[in-house]
Structure 1
Amino acid sequence: MTTLDLTPDELLSTTRAVRKRLDFTRPVPDELIRECVTLALQAPTGSNVVTARFVVVTDQEKRAALGEIYRDGYDKFMRSPGYPRRWKFEDAETKAQYDKMSSSAEYLGDHMGDAPALVLGCSTGPDRYSAVAGASNVLPSIWSFMLAARARGLGTAWTTLHALREQEIAQLLGIPYDNVAQLVMIPLAYTLGTDFKPAPRPDAEEVIHWNQW
């Protein structure tokens, strides 16, 4: 196992949503994905019960089909009032920042199926309601998977637009829709370069409420 020379703080602050810097030409070894999942399963869970499941799609035809489904979802998102390019901004700097983000997301929308692996992070339960309601028991594992990937020179991006056609994906991949919720679809690939920086964020004091709101 080879990992990047990152401190814990560097790992946490530079695990970015990677889109334009995903290397679609380089396969990701299955064993590397297993390592990431093994670490992901160490995340805390309620009552020490593991309800997370990872559907790893490397088959080219299935990746292409998932890419088309995601592209359709992104097209719908772009036509919605909530799309960032439709927002009105008070200053040019903020607009430029969101335009850059939108351009990156649009690129991924066009190339999702080109990623060498697509990983569906899922929540399981005895029924559909339990699977969806139990998402909080699974999200730490999914984030741990992304951190483990970053440490190994792999890039990821947290996406959810596949959910617009979740039943179709369930049929495509043989996922039991009645008791498995597909929470997130993650493109997984080596990155073009490994130098990622912390993102602009508010100062901690702007979001902390001491003792009361």
Structure 2
Amino acid sequence: MTSSEPLNLTVDELLTTTRSVRKRLDLEKPVPREVLLECLDLALQAPTGSNSQGWQWVFVEDPEKKKAIADVYRIAANPYLAAPKPQYGDSRDERTPLVVDSAKFLSDHLHEVPVLMIPCLEGRPDGAPAGMSAGFWGSLMPAAWSFMLALRSRGLGSAWTSLHLMGDGEKQVADLLGIPFDKYSQGGLFPVAYTKGTDFKKAKRLPAEQLTHWDTW
């Protein structure tokens, strides 16, 4: 028995129904710390370059700090969400208004989410060659995604956001939370909450054959 009863999902169901959740985050239900640590323990099984495990994970529950982080987030989010969105000429265009509306909801209510999580990785890849940058973020992103999968498997949800990293936002949040800015890079901002219902479905994606290349582009 775990501290948050897992959903009865197959691997394929888990992988195809883990969504970026915004409007269906339960802003009222507390999230126990033991559940967060349980999910993080699972996430820490993800691969990391040279087995360095240089990650650190900052969970924010304090209302005033959440509000301050949300204020930083909105500085970048408001103009980004108001700007014209690209047109792809395919099924993605159908979802754009819904995605924008959902993102606006999260921006407006970010400070109300029970927990905010910021994954950090030791080092700063600023200006690094592509190979080094890929290796750097590749040592954090698999674990962050595994954390989202673990949340989903236990009836919680999140959304991978990064708008607070724009401009000097990362430095402001680092100062607010005591993150050593010169030593650690922030990989995103994850609102964490139980979800209103657990009946998430597969997203509409472009078919794999349209995105696949064999032996040449």
Distance 1:65 1:36 in 2: 26
> Where does residue 162 of structure 2 map in the other structure?
160
The corresponding residue for 2:31 is 28
Paired position in structure 2 for 1:41:
44
Q: 1:61 aligns with which of 57, 61, 64?
A: 64
Residue by residue over 1:13-55, the C-alpha shift from the partner in whole angstroms, topping out at 9 and shown as x without a partner, is 0000000000000010000000111111100111111022111
Task: State the alpha-carbon separation in 1 of the partners of residues 142 and 209 from structure 2.
Answer: 25
Partner in structure 1 of residue 104 of structure 2: 106
Given the alignment, which residue of 141, 144, 163 partners 1:142? 144
SS of equivalent residue, structure 2 residue 190: strand
Selected match of 1:19 from 1, 22, 31: 22
Superposition deviation, residue 90 in structure 1: 5.4
SS at match of 2:22: coil
Aligned positions, number: 206
CA distance in 1, matches of 2:88, 2:189: 30
* Shift in CA distance, 79/195, structure 1 to aligned 2, threshold 3 Å: closer
Shift of 1:206: 1.2
**Cα shift readout 1:138-194 (whole Å, capped 9, x = no counterpart):** 110100000000001001000000102110001000000001111110000000000
Unaligned runs of 5+ in 1: none
Shift of 1:95: 4.4
Q: CA deviation at 1:210?
A: 1.7
Aligned with 2:195 (options 155, 167, 191): 191
C-alpha spacing 1:155/1:210, structure 2 compared with 1 (3 Å): same
Q: CA-to-partner distance for each residue in 1:53-87, whole Å, 9 max, x for gaps?
A: 1110011111111111112221131344xx42xx4
Give the alignment partner of residue 54 of structure 2, picking from 24, 40, 51: 51
Measure the CA separation in 2 of the matches of 1:90 and 1:47.
42
Q: Is the 8 A contact 1:67 1:114 kept in 2?
A: no
Cα distance in 2 for residues equivalent to 1:70 and 1:14: 26
TM-score, normalization: structure 2?
0.89
2:125 aligns with one of 126, 129, 146: 129
Q: Which has the larger share of helix? A: 1
Instruction: Note if 1:169 corresponds to 2:173.
Output: yes
Q: Is the 8 A contact 2:23 2:106 kept in 1?
A: yes
Q: Hey, what's the Cα distance between the residues in 1 that align with 2:82 and 2:202?
A: 30
Q: Alignment identity in percent?
A: 45
Farther off after superposition, 145-154 or 200-209: 200-209
TM-score normalised by length of structure 1 = 0.90
Q: Contact 1:22/1:115 (CA < 8 Å) preserved in 2?
A: yes
Q: Considering only aligned residues, what root-mean-square deviation do their CA atoms show, in Å?
A: 1.9
Q: Mind listing any 5+ residue stretches in structure 2 that lack a counterpart?
A: none
